[in-house]
Amino acid sequence: MGNFTFNETKIKGVYIIDVKTFGDNRGYFMETYKESDFKAAGLDYNFVQDNQSSSRKGVLRGLHFQKTHPQAKLVRVLKGEVFDVAVDLRKGSETYGQWVGALLSDENHRQFMIPRGFAHGFLVLSDYAEFTYKCDDVYHPEDEGGIMWNDPAIGIEWPDAGEIILSEKDKVHPSLKESKIEF
């Protein structure tokens, strides 16, 4: 479809999106989002907020979600490389508690589409990374939740990035079983 290839993952609704780039000796150009192409692929979202973060190697952000105001997210890397993960928290889903990951970088230009009802997190693999994402609901700080990044019941296979650096809140998230979260 146009300048995007939408690759559905093993978890329904989660897509890895390859973006066509046009380059020459000056650099490159690419579309990162086009509403009509996304809608034609069945990804009909009304994005209302864009976020950007920067992190150093080994920083792991996640696994985050909003409890009563879940967000769909379209994520990508502007600089560097990250391993991005979505964990299915949808009640009654055949893949509840399962995860899917994608390597996103400024070189592969890939994007990751994560629908509502998922926990999300990423690990920085390069020395430095800039990460951006579109959300279909605004952030509600009082509504945030999280689950352990290394919950053995989920079994995420994080790549080796050396020492893992977590925020204080990410150090104390409960396991999926303890959180009892379902969307």
> Given strand 128-135, what is the order of strands in its sheet?
4-8, 15-19, 111-114, 73-79, 128-135, 49-56
The catalytically annotated residue of 15, 64, 120, 173 is: 64
Tokens found for residue 22? 């046009």
Tell me, yes or no, if 139 is annotated catalytic.
Answer: no
DSSP 163: S
DSSP conformation class of 142: G
Nearest to 11 by CA among 109, 122, 67, 85: 85
- Which listed residue (15, 45, 120, 133) is catalytic? 133
Catalytic residue status for 15: no
The set of catalytic residues is 64, 133
